[in-house]
Amino acid sequence: MKQDGAIPVLFPPVWAPPEVGRHGGYGGYYDAMDVAFRKSRESIEALARRAGLAIVRVPLDTLKGSMFVDFCHLNLEGETIKARYVADAIMPLVEQLKLSGRFAAVLHPQPLCGVP
């Protein structure tokens, strides 16, 4: 991707808080799933540091338990919040590509999901 002039962006997963995970049908599996998601996030962040890649982090306490439809998928409200974090992180990178001359023009996107 870098050889093609792209800017790779890594996005660690988000997952449901304990009150959702333990009572949302995951029961005894919650602790193991929580460890797996934390290790995945740590691995992605370590890769980003080693390779100098952009990373988009959504703070785990940003999303309320009521926004999760299962252990790691969000409803529209949660996806909208996640999309704002992604847009806020990606637009400066797109502008960087524009200034470098690699893009002829950058179109300014419409609001995500109809939310300004």
pLDDT at position 50: 93
pTM of model > 0.85: no
Confidence of residue 116 (pLDDT cuts 50, 70, 90): very low
Which tops the pLDDT comparison, 37 or 2? Answer: 37
Q: How far is CA 10 from CA 30, 68, 105, in A?
A: 25, 21, 24
For residue range 58-110, list pLDDT tens digits in order: 887 889 999 998 888 999 999 999 999 888 888 888 787 777 776 655 455 55
Q: How far is it, in rounded angstroms, from Cα 66 to Cα 109?
A: 29
Phi/psi at 55 (5° precision): -140, 140
Helix or strand (DSSP H, E) at 18: helix 18-21
